[in-house]
Structure 1
Amino acid sequence: MTPARPSSAPRGRRRARALSATVVAATAGSLITVTAPAAEAAVTCASPVFQRQFFANTTFSGTPKKTDCDSKIDQNWGTGAPATGLPSNYFGVRWTVTRDFGSGGPFALPVETRDGIRVYVDDVRKVDIWKNVSTTQSKTVNVTIPAGKHTLRIDFVNWTGSANVKFAYTPRTSTTVDTTKPLVPTAPALTYTSSYQAKFSWSANKEMDLAGYRVYRRLKSGSYPAQPLATTTSTSFTDTTVPATGDTYAYEVRAYDKAGNTSAGTADQYVATADRTGPAAPTGLTAHGDLPGMVIEWKPVTGATAYELYEKSATTGAYTLLKRQSGTSYIHYVSADATRHTYAVRAFDAAGNPSAYSATVTSDGIDRTAPASPTSLEATVDTSQVRLSWQVPSSMRDELDNDARFVVYRAQGTSLGADPAAITCENESSTSDSGSGTYTFQCYDRAAVLDTVYTYGVAVRDGRGNESAVSDTVTVTTSDRVPPRPVTGLKATPRGDGTLLSWDKPAADEDVVAYHAQRGVRQADGTVKWQGPYLPCVDGKDDPLAILCIDVPDGETYVYAVTAEDQWGNELPITNSSVPNVTSTELSLEPADAVGSDPGPIAGGGGWQASEAISGAYWRCTDPVACEDIKEFRISRWNQQTGTYEPLATVPSDGGTTSQYYRDETQPLGETSFYQVIGVRADGTTTAAGHPFTVRPDLV
């Protein structure tokens, strides 16, 4: 087989194709041939570095002659070519960059150019100087760039002559122009280190006008303070001051720019700290001698669950633990030998962290401590003496067993004054209350003058002569022997339940505690025979100036008098001529057939009680033979308006002579009810009537 012939293309065409790979230049009459480099690899430039492309034309057409990276646009090529292989005239250079502008904001785009320049933001033209010039042209355009990523493109061309170009994009940071806050920092992270520090980190913001970051810290239960914990330009911060208290703390970071705009805070980041911090050192440490020994006390410390009390050696300065306890007082049982003792105390929290030691205190064992004051002092006045009572805690038993005694002070007037006098209080006695842990003491002042204002106080003096402060005082007025003045305006009003006595209100200075009424009968000689104070005269229920003397309204005439009694039992005798009396005749309401004794075998009873309760009617059969065959009783009540007995009920007989009872549920209040009781025999015949009655008083 004949092999295939190669292409029959003309030789000249193959040569021309071969020459296309060379550059021919004439230099000093010689011909130099330079081989062109191979095609360039793709060039990528890390933002914010520009990618720069060189074109051998002013239309940016075709493949760039060269591509490289340019950190800033500030070149002056003069009249030369900007790069090897490009002409010195009629060339173009294009810069592009895509970057994240963060929150964006106002920017300035300043340019200087000879010849033409065009600046685009996301393919939107912002600067346009596009002409062949012989001098450098300058211009600044202000723009607002939105948040996020955007692409800048800068096209520069040189037509003829010198070529230079300068461009920048810079944030405008004037506070009157820039009001755009930075974006919230992202990716916050917080760790707690083994050295009890909090390491806080976040991603860098993209804003070009960013000034830095502010870090804030708060307790989980609190709020962020106005001032930041730290200000930094870094994207991390290590908090070396976070307290190791076992509390949880929250952190956030805020970005701020050169115009002073501040972003919102990041989401809270929490760290639970280790508890390595003890409570505050105790304060208020005191030591003083007392009967049982050295009494040591201090103020409670917030968060403390235990305390350790130490005695400090006067010679070596070493501390010896006396007691670990939860309370804030301790008795060091040392003798009263005047030896000085020095103490210190420290506190512990629930995690076992100790506080610093308190300030030391030094004291001797001599008892210079006054007992606690008595409490609950009371004074009760009767007709001849003043009874005083007070309380002390049962813990004072040791003092009392070691010659402590009470000192009672009395002064005339409403205060003890600066130097009260001690008095003899007789018949001192005591009782104990184990439930409340107290002793109650009492005594009697029998030397007090009548009708005098006194103020009392009580102190305790221990066996070493240390006296307590005086208790709270009490002021009383002793009794007198002057009875209240006679009542005025005494009136007697007859009623259906007796006679109502009333009188005027006494003067304000009267110390009346009770009123007493008496009833009597006027004799022929004009004197009154009083029937005694034990009549059923009852104080008013709501009216303190009224007494009801309960009685059957049967038309009797009586004399009434009222006397006043004060708190000391003073009262004018009823026979005193200054005591007023009033004569009153009762209403006459009894039915005619009820007057005198009941003639038949049924005897009616009567009465009342000193209350408004319904009391009922009673009767009994007096003749066993006559009453034996009575089967029932008919009960009626007298109606004063109609003048008749009106039936109420029928009750069976009990067949005997014991009292029988009927409860009249309709018995009127404030009236005397008169009843008629008739026995009914088995054969239908009836007995003579009995007449019980009862008074149901209306207590005013």
Structure 2
Amino acid sequence: MNPARRTTAAAAATVVLATAGTLLSTAPASAAVSCASPVFKRQFFANTSFSGTAKRTDCDTVIDQTWGTNAPATGLPKDNFTVRWTVTRDFGSGGPFTFAASTQDGIRVYLDGSRKVDLWKNVSTTAKKTVDLTVPAGRHTLRIDYVNWTGAANVKFTYTPRTSATVDKVKPLAPTGAKATYDTTTGKAKLTWAKSPELDLADYRVYRRLKDTSTWKRLTTTTATSYTDTPPPTGQTYYYEIRAADRAGNESTGTADQPVSTPDRTPPATPSGVAATSAQPGIKVSWNAVPGATEYLVHRRWEWDGEDPVVRVAKVTATSWLDTTARENLEYSYWVTAVDTVGNASAKSPGVYVARGDWAPSAPIGVTATTTSGGVALTWKPATTPVTEDLSRFRIYRNGRFVEELRAGQTSYTDSNVRHSTSYAFTVTAVDTLGQESAPSAPATGTAPPTGLAPAAVSGLSGAMDGYDIELRWQRSAEEDIDRYVIHRGKLVDGVWEYEEWSEVLSHWQDGPTMYYSHEIYDLQGADVRWAVVAEDSAGNSLPLSGEDFSYVTVTEPVAPPEETW
């Protein structure tokens, strides 16, 4: 159940929220909303006749709402409003269903335009109605209309299959998309099929029979859409079919027969010359070609205490393989098996031992740069190869200049310290706990939005002490909406610069390309002090006093004179 959400004026585009498995999409009346079946499309009207354009449209997974005496959503009245839910979905084989409605004030339920529930009256207590009906097979459209004239508002509607064996005599539809594949290496048959649209599905049943026989053997009952079987390796052909069963015990017809043939076994020779070397991005395993072999299986064991299992890690057609999943600072042994055209596998080769070194991580992948109202939004993914167990952080670079450092779990960043309508090339690097930094990622170009960002750092800032006065000069910003320049004074505290707002210069107080500020200092430090000048636009946007993107000068203040000389 999704209550209508109140959104700010900034939410002009569609908003998608995922909460506790419920999808809620909201949009203004002018925007198109698409809700994936079986989610309802919900429309709010500020009248009792569903006339005009809906005031609000969103998606609702469950119709179960109590608004009380409040308005159902921003922009709607608390009385005399209507709500319409619609969904078109596949009912599979159809069958007996129960439609249950409760409401205050009115509700009407339609199936393919035919009215099935009609409670349409201004009431002071909740009215209820339950209808049993048969839904035909296939896709159908449900429409639920709700009206509130006055007083408290609540509505609930459910549609559920009737699963009693005495009522439901409709067989489910046979599963679709059945497919069987056979792995000659493992001797296993993998069966897959599409999910059934039946609303009262109980499970799937997998059957097998030997070719040229008529007896089916049930292998399993499962709620999954796949099953792995190991048919007898007799060189014969077996057929599989899948059937669906509903909660009333009705079983569908079977899918089309899916054949699997088991092969003979004559293994090729064992591979020789197996070698393994550690490099970046992984451990390279190589061996000599085996006559008659069409592919090779590579096996690996982590050499911790010699008791870990040997596992298969690759199947290749070449005579070498790069293991990019091997972890750094660990030791491994490798074996290779040859496989012929019908899947017969040789014995494992003698094992070879290799130690994996510690290498710098690989560069992040999938870097994107997107223009947003807040700047340029970056996203990326850690490299999938090689595996870096000690990945510590990511570093962001703009046009080759360091911008920000993030912890390893973060894979997005918005750069707001950019100039309006200016394009930049962004790269990301990965750093491990030893400080080893990867090569830069492939660059991603992003353009800052034309408006809405903080003004750029002032240019040409210079400053010096004139006796006990600080004098600052800088170039007037070319941005037309600059309202003022804020002067900050920074002191070094425990190795960190801490700033306080000192004064301001209104942009219209001075003429010419150069701005000027002078002020007598009373709490002289007798040490290095930073003076920063930050431009602020009419919307109050300004650069933060963090990083090094704002403009500042460092001056050495004189020692304060005795108090009587002031």
The TM-score with structure 2 as length reference comes to 0.42
Indicate the structure (1 or 2) with the bigger Cα radius of gyration: 1
If each structure's strand is expressed as a fraction of its own residues, which one has the higher value?
2
The TM-score with structure 1 as length reference comes to 0.34
Structure ranking higher on relative contact order (CA contacts 8 Å, 6+ apart): 2
